Chain A
């Protein structure tokens, strides 16, 4: 083809092309080739882009300059006393505040923007039809965030070693803060990427931009404030708090894959089955959270903790459930290729497959297992029950929370069935619907009673059974009184009806049978299984 622009010197072009297309014999070039071919192409691309762009250089420069200034300032200001007074504490606090700027603000926001920019600048489509799967794209974005974290940490490390030499601070304190900082950065990046992928529509972008900015500024402030407060309060923090560290670590470790799977699902083609992966990750995530909650109850021997644990679980399930029952997922022919074969499998595993109705039953079963687990636990370990003064209340609150989840999420699911499938942002609509139902439905009987009562306050009764917080606080204080029991029975009956309607509606999905893999796909699978003879290069 002809050339329309003035070319740079030809030798330079040639050298450049050679650098890309010749296996180099130079040591560092070989290392780069080796590393880059084994890592995600997106990481390689973003690393190159960062090196060419000003943004990374400026951020990195600012951090370095801030570290230098702080080091000089703190060392010189303490200089006369540095030999006999421990000064590490002040210096370290400064370093952590400086480090939280890239780790909490810059890196997650860069990850968010880089995902968002792909959609905005219309490059995403080209990447999505390339050989990279949705999962690889998300992993690539996540890995480049991790690479940046590593770069910032490695530049800060020498400075942090200096603080240890200045005394006044233990190695464990330094490590614990680094640990918190890194996991906060990683989980924030994963959440930012997830928000970017689910809000690619233009009208959602305004909200997501505001949300991300707000969240990160608040977190930045909180982290800085907490760093200053904690480093001063527990300078000799030791490994005694290991369970706290492990619990936070495991919860984060299970959150990140869940977020990444959700991001991949949001950008993948519609017929792909991500439901199984997302729901099994959710199971691990909620299991981890529940394990640590139970751990708190057991170690403190206080059954009263179950009240807030149930409240937290109910809140999580209401949000996740609303998102689950409003997604447009359908059991596509592709997803049906992997359906369970046996009747037993159909009855137990189909709930993991795509579809709002199946999601509803899945979340309900998980919540029910949690409640049954707690009840069983209380009976199985009477040793602990001695310390439990509120065994009855625990059971009542668990059942009530489960019923509320079934009722409101079930109603949201039924309402969302009337919303057309192709509407964008359906999950957000579902979330709004859930919030609306949850906040307004209980108000109705309340207002009716209030007006009947001449607008004077009245005490709890069976008629207020839709009022979540009131019911739970009544059960917490009063246990199974006749009034509370009546409300509970009503609630259970109503939510049971809603559950049954939903169950019947997704009966069709459960009865679906596995479909055979198309012959062309079978043919390809068979040919990929037999080892091929090395092919002659097509580029020769």
Chain B
């Protein structure tokens, strides 16, 4: 059951976790509100799984605390577990069981009984598309099918917080799109989600905010736009005009804040200092049109999350 509340649904307070000399998690803090999706990005070995396992009460931090719906994962893991669903990146399944029996077991283990249990199973099967293979033995499932089953298991008790460790791993392109829709649907219902992934463009599309972690440290976090503007000092604009390209270049080059302008056939590329909001871009377009140029295309380019990610991570492993 998703109950809206006034405190963050996920809150990390100065979390540390060391394995010997390896600082797997080194002072990580952030919070996720109800109905928000937080994307957790980082290169291999950055500490994503470690952080998520601590949140899922499978590991304990060396220092700091994390709260799920206001309950400490250290001191009230039992209460946390009732409110949270966790999909690990690496997990085992039972032999001699089919998908339906598997989900039934977990539904029972969350204390769902009678009609409530039956509905939960049917809803989950439908939601994850497992109803067509309900009878299949788990050991015979493909990787993607197992991912779906694991996701179904994590959400069978309709937790207020879902923690998904690389959920898109092993899914086919179509299933990835469906996963995105599922995530957005769950968030719209009020579920808070924490999702880790390597596929950045995908995270950008479904997350409200992002955190980039490397070598245990959170390098940057905030909304997608905040990160882009903080880390990309330029706004690159691309416009297509029917004629008078050269004149547009001249006009643009005397405008405030314009760093560089270049012409490329019918295209004019322009780099402006600082991140420009949509409103500022609209104002610029209005000015260009007002000057009498026939603009047929106007867009920003080259600011994908991949660029940000490649810029700020070094790829160093510890």
Contact indicator B118/A20 (Cβ below 8 Å): yes
B41 neighbours in A (Cβ, 8 Å)? none
Do B78 and A133 touch (CB < 8 A)?
yes
- The reply to whether A1 and B72 form a contact with Cβ atoms under 8 Å apart is no
Query: Binary interface profile of A, 257-289, with partner B (CB < 8 Å = 1, else 0)?
Result: 000000000000111100000000000000000
In the complex, the answer to whether A49 meets B77 with C-beta atoms within 8 Å is no
- Taking the closest CB of chain A, its distance from the CB of B13, in whole angstroms, is 14
Q: How far is the CA of A16 from the CA of B121 in the complex (A)?
A: 12
Knowing A4-B142, A333-B75, say if A269 contacts B135 (CB, 8 Å): no
The reply to whether A20 and B100 form a contact with Cβ atoms under 8 Å apart is yes
Range for the number of chain B residues in contact with chain A: 35 or more
**Nearest residue, chain A, Cβ from B111:** A131
With an 8 Å Cβ cutoff, the count of chain A residues facing the other chain is 55
State whether the Cβ of A537 lies closer than 8 Å to any Cβ in chain B.
yes
**Nearest-CB residue, chain B, relative to A540:** B119
Indicate if the CB atoms of A17 and B96 lie closer than 8 Å: no
Q: Which residues of B contact A7 (CB under 8 A)?
A: 132-133
Instruction: Point out the residues of chain A lying under 8 angstroms from B78, CB to CB.
Output: 133, 269, 272
The yes or no answer to A126 lying at the interface (CB within 8 A) is yes
- Quick one: closest A residue to B20, CB to CB? A422
List B contacts of A23 (CB < 8 A). Answer: 114-115, 118
B123 at interface by CB-CB < 8 Å:
yes
A142, B70: Cα distance in complex, Å: 35
Q: Which of A1, A10, A131 contacts B129 (CB 8 A)?
A: A1
Q: Is A516 interfacial (CB 8 A cutoff)?
A: no
Interface flags for A318-344 (1: CB within 8 Å of B; 0: not) read 000000000000001110000000000
Of all chain B residues, the one with the shortest Cβ separation from A120 is B92
Say whether B204 faces chain A, with CB atoms less than 8 Å apart: no
Which chain B residues in 135-154 approach chain A with CB under 8 Å? 135-136, 141-142, 144-145, 148, 153
> Which of the residues B81, B105, B119 comes within 8 Å of A537, measured between beta carbons?
B119
Within the complex, which residue of B71, B96, B175 is in contact with A49, where a contact is CB–CB below 8 Å? B96
**A521 at interface, CB cutoff 8 A:** yes
Q: Which residue of B lies closest to A137 (CB)?
A: B109
Q: Give the residue name and chain of the A residue nearest to B115 (CB).
A: A23
B24 to chain A, nearest CB (A): 14
Contact bitstring B100-127, A, C-beta under 8 A = 1, else 0: 1100111011110111111111110100
Taking CB atoms, residues of chain B closer than 8 Å to A123 are 91-94
**Which of B57, B110, B172 meets A2, CB within 8 Å?**
B172
A121 within 8 A of B: yes
Instruction: Please provide the chain A residues from 21 to 47 with a CB less than 8 Å away from any CB of chain B in the complex.
Output: 21-23, 36-37, 41-42, 44-45
Whether the Cβ atoms of A130 and B110 lie closer than 8 Å is: yes
Q: Is A13's CB under 8 angstroms from B109's CB? A: no
- Give B132 Cβ to nearest chain A Cβ, in Å: 4
- Whether A130 touches B109, Cβ cut-off 8 Å, given contacts A3-B132, A17-B100, A540-B119, is yes
With A20-B121, A53-B95, A130-B109 in contact, do A45 and B101 touch (Cβ < 8 Å)? Answer: yes
> A44–B175 contact, CB under 8 A?
no
* Chain B residue with the shortest CB-CB distance to A125: B58
A520 CB within 8 Å of chain B: yes
CB <8 Å contact, B97 and A13:
no
Assess A8 versus B105: contact at CB under 8 Å? Given A125-B91, A129-B86.
no
- A1: chain B residues within 8 A (beta carbon): 128-129, 148, 174-175, 178-179
Residue of B nearest to A136 (CB): B109
Q: Are B95 and A49 in contact (CB under 8 A)?
A: yes
Q: Is B82 an interface residue (CB 8 A)?
A: yes
> In the complex, what's the smallest C-beta–C-beta distance from B74 to chain A, in angstroms?
6
Cβ contact of A16, chosen from B96, B118, B135, B144, cutoff 8 A: B135
Distance of A28 Cα from B98 Cα, bound (Å): 22
Give B177 Cβ to nearest chain A Cβ, in Å. Answer: 9
Q: Select one of A8, A21, A42, A127 contacting B121, CB under 8 A.
A: A21
- Is A535 interfacial (CB-CB < 8 Å)? yes
- Chain A neighbourhood of B58, CB < 8 A: 125, 128-129
Q: Is A456 located at the chain interface by the 8 A CB criterion?
A: no
Q: B230 within 8 Å of A by Cβ?
A: no
Contact, CB under 8 Å: B174 / A2: yes
> How close is A323's CB to chain B, nearest CB, in angstroms?
22
Interface string of A91-128 (1 = CB under 8 A from B): 00000000000000000000000000000011101111
Q: How far apart are the CA atoms of A23 and B119 in the complex, in Å?
A: 11
Contact of B114 among A16, A37, A41, A334 (CB under 8 A): A37
Shortest Cβ distance from B114 into A: residue: A37
Q: Which residues in window 44-102 of A have CB below 8 A to B?
A: 44-45, 48-50, 52-53
Contact partner, A41, options B82, B92, B109, Cβ 8 Å: B109
**What residues of chain B lie closer than 8 Å to A270, measured between beta carbons?**
60
B202 at the interface (CB under 8 A from A): no
Question: Are A269 and B132 also in contact (CB < 8 A) when A5-B142, A129-B56 are?
Answer: no
Residue from B71, B88, B109, B129 in contact with A127 in the complex, judged by beta carbons closer than 8 Å: B109
Is B134 an interface position by the 8 A CB rule? yes
**B134 engages A16 (CB within 8 Å):** yes
Do residues B96 and A52 form an inter-chain contact, with CB atoms below 8 A?
yes
Q: Encode B52-84 as 1/0 by CB contact (under 8 A) with A.
A: 000011101000000001111011111101101
What residues of chain A lie closer than 8 Å to B174, measured between beta carbons?
1-2
Q: What is the bound-complex CA distance between A309 and B61, given in angstroms?
A: 46
- Say if the beta carbon of A531 comes within 8 Å of chain B: no
Contacts of B158 in A (CB 8 A): 538-539
A274 to B92, CA, bound (A): 28
B182 CB, nearest partner CB in chain A, Å: 8
Question: 28 A-B Cβ contacts within 8 A?
Answer: A1-B175, A2-B178, A13-B132, A20-B121, A37-B113, A37-B117, A41-B105, A48-B97, A49-B96, A52-B97, A121-B95, A122-B90, A126-B153, A129-B58, A129-B84, A130-B110, A131-B109, A132-B109, A270-B60, A272-B78, A332-B74, A518-B76, A520-B71, A537-B115, A538-B1, A539-B119, A539-B120, A540-B119
Give the 5 A-B CB pairs with smallest separation, nearest first.
A1-B129, A122-B92, A41-B108, A520-B70, A539-B119
Known: A8-B133, A122-B91, A520-B70. 4 other contacts (CB 8 A): A4-B142, A21-B122, A45-B105, A130-B110
